[in-house]
Chains A and B, each alone.
Chain A
Amino acid sequence: MSEIVFDGVTRRFPLAKGGDFLAIDCIDLRIEEREFVAIVGPSGCGKTTLMRMAAGLDFPTDGRVLVGGKEVRGPGPERAVVFQQFALMPWKNVRENIGFGLMCRGTPRAEREEAVAHYVQLMSLAGHEDSFPHQLSGGMQQRVAIARAYVMNPAALLMDEPFGALDAQTRIVMQEELVRLARRNPRTVLFITHSVEEAIYLADRVVVMGKRPGRILETLDITATRQAENWEAEPIEEVMDSPAFTHLRSRIWRLLKAREQEAPAA
């Protein structure tokens, strides 16, 4: 029971000069148990706000957000977040950063160390257990942040442009690894990105959003294509070159472009 449900969610932000800004306009979206959904859209379309509401770090002005049937009232480890800027604690080493949530939960030390060691291995962080975040590359830091989220065994994973701060090569490696991880450890995932390719490659379903106000333009099911084309067996560059992939990509681009022309930048 870990489906994420946005039920008529609206979010307005008060403006300094008075009045308010409609960031998200009455969104209904249901992410099924163990489904990987990516939300793609231009900056300012409210996709990060959606994720923050699922995390309990922000709240709807109207409507409800439910995870596993329960209304979200605040942040908690059953909905682990991976932030774009990693948000690792600079004063804790890799081991302590990954084990932090388990420590808060009161997991006994031996059990905690075992779980941390497992994810250190899985995320290829072996040998860096005692390093501090500033001694690691961006890609390594994000591995730590992903391990820190996974180790909590969360019902839902919320990822806010997790690869947005990484360089192009690192990004591709991380995308492949996330696919591998998601297959070994299926979870309900809400993945926010502005990269259309990333969304298609990773997700079972891609939600395309437009801005002013933030609305869902269309939802595309990728699962059928992925299985028919056997993407998981192919390297990422082959997948991204395949006609089925480029077809999906063009379709999403057209949607985003049509929307952009319809609603000129205010």
Chain B
Amino acid sequence: MGQRNFLGPSGTVLGHGEFWLLTLAGFGLFFGTWWGVTALGLLPAQTLPSPLDVWQTLVRLWERPFAGHVYSEHLGASIRRFLMGWAIAVAIGIPLGLLMGWYRVLDEVITPLFDSIRFVAPLAWVPLAALWFGTGIGGPLLIIFVGSFAPCVISAYRGARLVEERLVEAAQMLGASSRQTIWHVVIPGSLPSIIAGLRVSAGLGWQSLVGSELIVVGAGLGYLMVQGQANLETSVVIAGMIGIGIVGFVMDVLLRAVESAFRRRWGQE
């Protein structure tokens, strides 16, 4: 694998150092503008608190409970809830996608149904989830599940479809049963696509989190934000958003690393 390069605006190749410099410049510009707007008093603190205010709020939330819990507890509650919903989506979605890719009939039965349901946004499931589960754990799980299920199915399905026909034939001529072919050829052959799908589905599931936490009483970043809104504490709302952003970003980086590790191992990069 060669040195990774980045294309500049006119097609010039940027080195690693220059890339990070530009990334930093972007963040600098963002926080600089934010700070500038608040420092000049262009917007009232009620509408947009300064970066420093938000930082102080974060520290406060970390040390003292707000809406019943300290920040780390809200964060932990959200991550636990997300992991449960996501795990259910992965556990059902990946096998279903693989089977759809392998068995034509299943594909034709499920795909139209699936296509018509997946355009209902996760948020649109909130009322139904509330009716079914009230304020129990089921509601948030359903919404996170709805958010992350589709990419799991689609990526596994695509992966299974794109497995080289030759490899399936090779396995069969060596005497592999259907089960052995799926286990030794279709699943490993689909893994790069599945892992890419896991990344997308984790992102979408995590994004559905706030929606799911609108119907939770107790703890969670979404709950924290809703309480912040109720108390007119804009900095609390923004502090919640920052937590969501950072966790999502870290998750994406980790799954990207897993993805490229797999590709390297099998010489696909």
Contacts and interface: CB of A to CB of B under 8 A. Distances in A.
Q: Do A and B come together as binding partners?
A: yes
Interface of A: 55-57, 74-77, 79-81, 83, 85, 87-92, 100-101, 104-105, 132-135, 148, 152
B166 A104 contact: no
Contact of A104 (B174, B188, B265, B267): B174
Size category of the B interface is 20 to 34
Interface of B: 164, 166-167, 169-177, 180, 184-185, 188-189, 191, 265-268
Contacts of A81: 169-170, 173
A75 B167 contact: no
Nearest to B187: A91
Given A80-B174, A89-B184, A133-B267, 16 more contacts: A57-B173, A75-B169, A75-B173, A79-B173, A80-B173, A83-B169, A89-B170, A89-B185, A89-B188, A91-B188, A91-B266, A100-B174, A100-B184, A104-B177, A104-B180, A148-B174
Nearest to A152: B174
Counting chain A CB atoms within 10 Å of each CB, the highest count among B169, B173, B268 belongs to B173
A264 B169 CA distance: 34
Chain B contact residues: over half helix, strand or loop, or mixed?
Answer: helix
Nearest to B175: A77
B160 to A, nearest CB: 15
B44 to A, nearest CB: 59
B180 to A, nearest CB: 5
A85 B164 CA distance: 11
A86 to B, nearest CB: 9
10 A-B pairs with least C-beta separation: A134-B267, A101-B174, A77-B175, A87-B170, A75-B173, A87-B166, A91-B188, A75-B172, A90-B266, A104-B175
Contacts of A56: 173
24 contacts: A74-B172, A75-B169, A76-B175, A77-B175, A81-B170, A81-B173, A83-B170, A87-B166, A87-B170, A89-B170, A89-B188, A90-B266, A91-B188, A91-B189, A91-B265, A100-B171, A100-B176, A101-B175, A104-B171, A104-B175, A104-B176, A104-B177, A132-B265, A135-B267
A132 B185 contact: no
Contact of B268 (A75, A80, A90, A100): A90
Counting chain A CB atoms within 10 Å of each CB, the highest count among B177, B180, B184 belongs to B184
Chain A contact residues: over half helix, strand or loop, or mixed?
Answer: loop
Contacts of A89: 167, 170-171, 184-185, 188
A57 B172 CA distance: 9
Nearest to B266: A90
A136 B247 CA distance: 41
A57 B177 contact: no
A145 to B, nearest CB: 8
Contacts of B164: 87
B2 to A, nearest CB: 15
Nearest to A106: B175
Contact of B174 (A57, A77, A133): A77
Nearest to B268: A90
Counting chain B CB atoms within 10 Å of each CB, the highest count among A90, A92, A133 belongs to A90
Contact of A90 (B177, B180, B267): B267
Contacts of B189: 91
Contacts of A135: 267
Contacts of A77: 173-175
A132 B173 contact: no
